[in-house]
Structure 1
Amino acid sequence: MNANIASPSKTANAIATAKTLAEALPFIQRYDRETVVIKYGGHAMGDEATAQRFAADVVLLKLVGIHPVVVHGGGPHISAMLNRAGVKSEFVDGLRVTDSATMEIAEMVLSGAVNKQLAHWITQAGREADVRGVGLSGKDARLFTVEKVVRTRKDPESRIEQVVDLGFVGDPKEVDAQLVKTLIKAEQDYVPVIAPIGVDSAGATFNINADTAAGALAGALTAKRFLLLTDIEGVKDLDGNLITDMTIKDAKDLIGSNIAHGGMIPKLETAIGALEAGVEAVVILDGRTPHAILNELFTDQGSGTLIHS
């Protein structure tokens, strides 16, 4: 008579999996029915397999009782399309200068291809449990009403402050999160997926830094956690070492001392703003690492840099 006998290695793997699930229970309880806003961006978005793995992790969050809300970037996708169209990009403090031609392409990429593909991957990953990704733009239901961003910088020769016109780049002035709240609390398991586009009071379309948009939404939702997934492992000190834990004051000091520069500046600024708006904690972590959000939320070890008040 033939018998199916489990190999020692399979048994050990099964026990390890069960142990991991048991150890995750206190963390699952901590975040039960809480909102977690996830900013998904950086070059990690360019890898389809990574994006699909991310989508599956988001579905898992929904199935264990967490309300995930995804705000995505798409800088590399926009740059690729701009290069194809022969449009040059300029950045100031990590923000893309956006004229009318750039704005048209940015909206097409963000609200179109990137947004709908990510929502589709979430729906595909959750099809057996009927979890569905819902693609939105910040223009929908006036989620983001913006005001034009104004930046200044010193002339390298005269050292005089000069105003820099970033074009159609906005910061959220008002966040009407009612539609998002309705979706995440609905009987149907919806996961909102939001493109960082908004409108001003006159109805003109503006590009929003995805970090800033996600932070503003996290504050409006009073999220338990705000996770900034990017293509670096977190905030680093002058020696290149990862800083695993910091306060609002530490973050402000990094900006003031110029240790933080480029794209890290808006990340830290939006983390500070989200914390001051009532978010419990913000984490900057590497979205390319497999299951980074699960490791952060469901283990003692965590990932990246935790910022708290």
Structure 2
Amino acid sequence: MNRIYTSFGAKKLLRGCRYVLSNQLCPINYTLLPNTKSTATYTTKTGEISATRSTVIQLLNNISSKREINQYLQYFTSVSQQQFAVIKVGGAIIGDNLKELASSLAFLYHLGLYPIVIHGSGPQVNERLGKDGIVPDYIDGIRVTDERTMSIVRNCFLEQNLKLVNALEQLGIRARPITSGVFTADYLDYEKYKLVGHITDITRRPIEASIEAGALPILTSLAETKAGQILNVNADVAAGELARVFEPLKIVYLNEKGGIINGDTKEKISMINLDQDYEELLKKDWFKYGTKLKIEQIKNLLEFLPRTSSVAIINVQDLQKELFTDSGAGTMIRRGYKIIRRNSLNEFPSIDGVRHLLQKSDEIFSGRQSAASYLKSLESSKFTSYSDEPLEALAVVKENGDVPMLDKFICSDSHWLNNVSDNIFNNIRNDFSSLQWYVQEDDPNIPWHFNKSDGSYLMNDKILFWYGIKDLETISKLVKNFISNYQSGYLDSTHNEYNTVTPNI
């Protein structure tokens, strides 16, 4: 089979040719921007669009489709500026990837997005303790912090904070160091951990004032008691407490691993939907110690936040891809909804709910097909449907031939943004080792379909996708059937049962 590999941003669809879209996305390097200091004219109060912001959006085209860029920018700017994201930066990132970190934050700054950045300093503290001949002491994963250790912790936090602020300012980015005055804490357990804090209150004003002044807030996780004693707080814990107060759309943890690793396959887990996956994770032998603790903390946090909030654990180089593409990067963790499988219309709590959702499909909305005729076709078909609990997303897989057909795929805009579409597709992939589906060439979510497929074939304005098919004979049969259906007008008829739709709603 003749395969043509290309990047989506630059490709032209080749009529009547088989092709596979490569999913190699290059990270954006902020240092490529021309004259960044002189063109950075964006102001938070007036919302001016500067030359730099336009350049940044153009560079986003290297990793995103125009639809993804517009959709996510609209999503992230739909809330107040301090509700965009909380980004927790591991101390190792500042030590080893400072240039990439500053570049990524500068990129967001010039889009008018102001994340609340909080960082750790663990590696630097351990290195300094080692030079002083002190062995780090941990209990239950918490650093025991006596007065001598606290002196080192404080100095390391201040040094790393200044290092990040300076790196941003060298790129022409306004940044404000916030090293105190935000976290109020009590002793977690003085007898056990010494000068370690449990956050009891957060003062929002220093963060809000920084953003209002057009500066990125850069925080340490040091806290104070009401009497003024400095206490050490784990930066992951502090980031979670910030998220509880600000309720951001995104909580991002930047670390070296770039995600949660499946202990069985040794591969990175791309998505965890807690409502559906958590109980199964508990059964895994590898799901213990630090990994289990991290997921439990995230689960407790997300249960407190709106369902639209999500947590991403990623490498610093993948920050733009995580924020501005449907495929994302690293591991995304969200509450999600349980995906419900059904094999009969009688299993739905309400046919009216199904009919209402079907009205949003392209064929039925345009009048080429009626909801009643489609529902009747399901009565005589062997099918599996997948839907979320509120019934705002629906997929139907028919098993009428050698290769199952994804017959309907309907998902609202909010569900695309919150990766419900990925959750449904992952469930389908677990149940069906191979699959085919048809999509309009101008579908706004076409990059997502390429990402989910192993191969594809274009015929004028429609594309056949498939996955899990290894032999050329089966692929050839699929293509011949696709061409035959297209030439006969079957795909455009009112009886079209094979047009997969993913409309923006």
TM-score bucket of the superposed structures, by smaller chain: 0.7 to 0.9
Residue aligned with 2:215, SS: strand
Q: Does the 8 Å CA contact 2:91/2:119 hold for their aligned counterparts? A: no
Alignment match of 1:274 (pick from 285, 295, 301): 301
- The answer on whether the counterparts of 1:91 and 1:97 sit within 8 Å (CA) in structure 2 is yes
Task: Select 2:203's aligned residue among 170, 176, 180.
Answer: 176
Pair 1:84 & 2:137 matched: no
1:207 to 232, 236, 239: 232
Match of 1:285 among 314, 318, 335: 314
Report matched runs for 1:118-197 at 5 Å.
118-125=164-171, 127=172, 131-137=173-179, 139-140=180-181, 143-150=182-189, 165-184=192-211, 186=212, 188-197=213-222
Tell me the CA shift for residue 44 of structure 1.
Answer: 2.6
**C-alpha displacement at 1:42, in angstroms?**
4.6
Report what 1:75 is aligned to: 122
CA distance in 2, matches of 1:282, 1:222: 12
Judged with a 3 Å threshold, the aligned counterparts in structure 2 of structure 1 residues 266 and 18 are, in CA distance, closer, same or farther, namely closer
1:222 and 2:247 matched: yes
Q: Report the Cα distance in structure 1 between the residues aligned to 2:283 and 2:206, rounded to whole angstroms.
A: 37
Aligned CA distance change for structure 1 residues 175 and 87 (closer, same or farther; 3 Å): same
* Pair 1:243–1:146, CA change in 2 (3 A): same
Contact conserved, 1:212 with 1:267, CA < 8 A, in 2? no
- The equivalent of 1:39 in structure 2 is 88
Please give the per-residue CA displacement for 1:247-282, whole angstroms capped at 9, x wherever unaligned: 345458757977444544553344234323326111
Tell me how far apart the structure 2 counterparts of residues 284 and 51 of structure 1 sit (CA, whole Å).
18
2:117 maps to a residue whose letter is V
Instruction: Kindly indicate whether residue 74 of structure 2 is the aligned counterpart of residue 29 of structure 1.
Output: yes
Cα distance 1:67–1:17, how it changes in 2: closer, same or farther (>3 A)? closer
Contact 1:238 1:259 in 2 (8 A): yes
- Indicate the residue corresponding to 1:114 in structure 2: 160
Task: Please state how far the C-alpha of 1:94 moved relative to its aligned partner.
Answer: 2.7
CA distance change for structure 1 residues 261 and 147 in 2, over 3 Å: closer, same or farther?
A: farther
TM-score, length of structure 1 as denominator length: 0.78
Q: Percent identity?
A: 27
Query: SS state of the match for residue 223, structure 1?
Result: coil
* Total equivalences in the alignment: 271
Deviations 1:80-110 (Å, cap 9, x if unpaired)? Answer: 1111112110223332121111111101110
Question: Retained in 2: the 8 A contact 1:93–1:262?
Answer: no
Shift of 1:224: 1.0
In the alignment, is the contact (CA less than 8 A) between 1:216 and 1:270 conserved in 2? no
Displacement of 1:237 in angstroms is 2.9
Q: Which amino acid aligns with 1:78?
A: V
TM-score by length of 2: 0.49
Residue 74 of structure 1: how far off its partner (Å): 1.1
The alignment partner of 1:67 has SS state of coil
Aligned partner of residue 165 in structure 1, secondary structure: helix
For residues 155-198 of structure 1, the C-alpha deviation after alignment (integer angstroms, 9 at most, x for no partner) is: xxxxxxxxx812212221211212212221x1x32000001100
Give the match for residue 327 of structure 2: 301
* Residue 53 (structure 1) aligned to one of 90, 100, 103: 100
Distance (whole Å) between structure 2 residues aligned to residue 235 and residue 38 of structure 1: 17
CA contact (8 A) 2:93 2:101 kept: no
Residue 144 to residue 69, structure 1, CA distance change in 2 (3 Å): same
- Gaps of at least 5 residues in structure 2 are 1-9, 12-25, 27-54, 336-505
Unaligned runs of 5+ in 1: 1-10, 152-163
Aligned partners of 1:258 and 1:183: how far apart in 2?
45
**Of 100, 111, 114, which aligns to 2:147?**
100
* Structure of greater Rg: 2
